[in-house]
Amino acid sequence: MNHLIQISLGPVQGFIATARRSRDLWFGSYILSELSKSVALALHRNHAQLIFPFVDGLETQLAADSDFLVTNVVFAELQAPDLAAARTILSLAEQAAKNRWQSLCDQAKQQIDKAQGKNQGTAEQLYDQRIWQAQLGDVVEIYSGIVAVGTEGYAQANNRLRTMLANRKNTRSFAPYHDHFHRPKSSLDGAQSSVLLDSQSKPVQRLRQRLGIERAEQLDTAAMVKRVVGRERGFVPTARVTAHEWIERVNAAPQSQALLGKLRTQLQALADLDQGTALGKRYTEYPWLQTLAFDGQLLYRHRAQAEQARLQETSRNDHQQDDIDLQTVALQTLDSTLAALYKDHGAPNPYYGLLLADGDKMGQLIDKANEKASNADGHRAISHALSDFAQRVPALMSQHQGACIYSGGDDVLGLVPLHNAVAIANTLREAFKQALAKVARANGLPDTEHPTLSVGIALVHFLHPMGDARQLAASAERMAKGSQLATDQQRNALCLLAQPRAGNTISIRIRWDDTTALKRLSGWTEDLRSGSLPRGLPHELQAAYDSCLTVIPPVDAQGFKKFKDYWRAQLSAILNKKQSEGRDLDKKTTIPYLLQQLCDDSLTASNATHFEPLTHLLMARWLSGQTPKDEQ
């Protein structure tokens, strides 16, 4: 008898959302995918026919540590004589997830042992074995369901299975909470005790540094595994993505090549002293990193200077300070080189984009494939298309100097440099639409109902807590979806949400079919980046516009006419003043264009109080690259 099996793993929030550093986010996604792959592989090897995921070469793609990423839901059909036999296969798949989690924990221990090097015994001083073992069992949550297809057919059985799983998730099982260790709580999960010990010995502090654990940071077992496991695998640090536009400018300047060579040598010397990180040769999928294959944190002088101050404080209580002296001198030398580069190129931009994308109308497509379906072939075709798209995402993002964190099905999470953020989002949008077009047509959906991609990008400082950054990206994605808007305005959109370290959040939402707004945003971004528009112009115009709204509120038709005339006069005065100051505002082209975009037909009584083009100009300034003195 044919049975349908679905297994959902979690908690997704615990693995992905609770992140303090980019490594936590990166490997939280990786670990969740590894657990799902182990489940899918166990089902496949027990003769189940996979539906989600479904891709060519399943045995290879589902192998441990493969590059293939899988969502947290596995769906398959299984020929079994009865329900009891199907449950046996289901139990084997669930055990495979638990075994994979245990193997990842073992890998983390091996990485800790490897990092301690010659200082044997420091691992025992780093973490408490009792707490480590006690916290292992409550990490992986598994929800599963089985239905027999019977005479009702595949479509009805699938509907019953969905309902069953929804009800199962609403009746979560909570094990009794046992935590009698009386230890500080984890920085990532306040309900769990920290597994880290309080040793302040030099070897232990050096080991923490090598593992990327800050001096005051507390981590539970799951957080430790996320932080430590997979250190052999390459992941792109947030600061390196953030600084890349600056690195490109420095590398393109012939007069800076000697200083750039010094910079490479100095960063390598610091990496050898456990200050900063050399990215090495593990990053073949990111060729753009090779210009300067180091973590970008120390490219920001305030970070290098802060590390010098920390070393000075440490040296007061450390009688063996040879290493500290070497690190201090190396940081001072680096600071001198950075000062020379800053003089020619300015400081690197400290903001980056965290991109979160999700497919639109996927439920409608899946439901359409389920209507009167006699088998799972329609769903397999959708799954295959999604897998093909997901596998292309890392390369597509890397083409624009982005870095994919997670790509499974129609979900994408990644790091993007600001100057390429919109280009990356648009590339993903086009690839997703093309990947799903064939199966959408096969299921009879008109072009207007084909799946699209909504993309949210949070623009945040590289020191912004990663967990908060992901929440902002999720907010941006929800705004892109636009569920509160009219039906014809929902989904198929890009939302950019900028969060300065001090000041108000700025956000814009543009539908992908609004080519005029996208072209305007792109053009202004390039103009601000090249200097064709003064960098202070967006904020000056916004302040003037707000003042006009206060002086002459456009409350009625007559008030709007007076307001518009007043705003046009103010706008002309500001632009003419900039032009007279030699700010490259051409009277024949640039000024008329700005007047047309910021005042003429684009400004109406209905949009006067929420005038989008001005907000787009402000966002273009963000996308063109912020520097510390530019922060608002």
Lowest mean pLDDT among 39-53, 135-149, 234-248, 441-455: 135-149
Report which of 389, 382, 386 is spatially closest to residue 439, judged by C-alpha positions.
382
Q: Count Cα neighbours of 560 within 13 Å in the Cβ-side half-sphere.
A: 12
Whether 472 shows a pLDDT value over 70: the answer reads yes
| Segment 425-441 mean pLDDT | 95
pLDDT band at 613 (very low <50, low <70, confident <90, very high): very high
Burial of 392 (0-12, 13-18, 19+ CB in 10 A): middle
Of 153-167, 265-279, 331-345, 582-596, give the lowest mean pLDDT range.
582-596
For residue 629, pLDDT beyond 50: no
Task: Residue 554: name the closest of 601, 602, 607, 597 by CA.
Answer: 607
- Mean pLDDT across the chain: 87
Would you state the pLDDT for residue 169? 74
Write the burial class of residue 514 (CB in 10 Å: 0-12 exposed, 13-18 middle, 19+ buried): middle
Q: What amino acid is encoded at 315 in this protein?
A: S
Neighbouring residues of 99: CB distance < 8 A, sequence distance ≥ 6: 38
For residue range 113-143, list pLDDT tens digits in order: 888 877 777 788 888 888 888 887 767 788 8
Q: Which CATH class is domain 350-513?
A: alpha beta
Q: Where are the domains of the chain?
A: 2-228, 238-345, 350-513, 527-632
The CATH class for the domain spanning 2-228 reads alpha beta
- Tell me: pLDDT of 17 over 70: no
State residue 584's pLDDT score: 60
- As a whole number of angstroms, the distance between CA 49 and CA 380 comes to 10
Please indicate whether the domains covering 2-228 and 350-513 agree at the CATH topology level: yes
- Chain segment 340-390, per-residue pLDDT in tens: 999 999 999 999 999 999 999 998 998 888 886 778 889 999 999 999 999
Q: pTM of the full predicted structure?
A: 0.89
Which of 462, 526, 458, 525 lies closest to 495 in space, CA to CA? 458
Distance of CA 542 to the CA centre of its chain: 30
| pLDDT of 631 | 44
Q: How confident is the model at residue 630 (pLDDT cuts 50, 70, 90)?
A: very low
Output Rg (C-alpha) for the chain, integer angstroms: 27
pLDDT number for residue 146: 92
Q: In this predicted model, what pLDDT tens digit does every residue of 36-79 receive, in sequence order? A: 999 999 999 999 999 999 988 889 999 988 888 888 899 999 99
Task: Give whichever of 87-91, 122-126, 154-158 has the largest mean pLDDT.
Answer: 87-91
**Winning range, highest mean pLDDT, from 19-28, 316-325, 485-494:** 485-494
pLDDT of residue 628: 43
pLDDT-based confidence at residue 316 (cuts at 50, 70, 90): low
The per-residue pLDDT for 588 is: 62
Q: Is 59 helix (H, G, I), strand (E, B) or coil?
A: helix
Task: Give dist(CA 628, CA 398) in Å, integer.
Answer: 26
- Banded model confidence at residue 260, pLDDT cuts 50, 70, 90: very high
pLDDT higher than threshold 70 for residue 337: yes
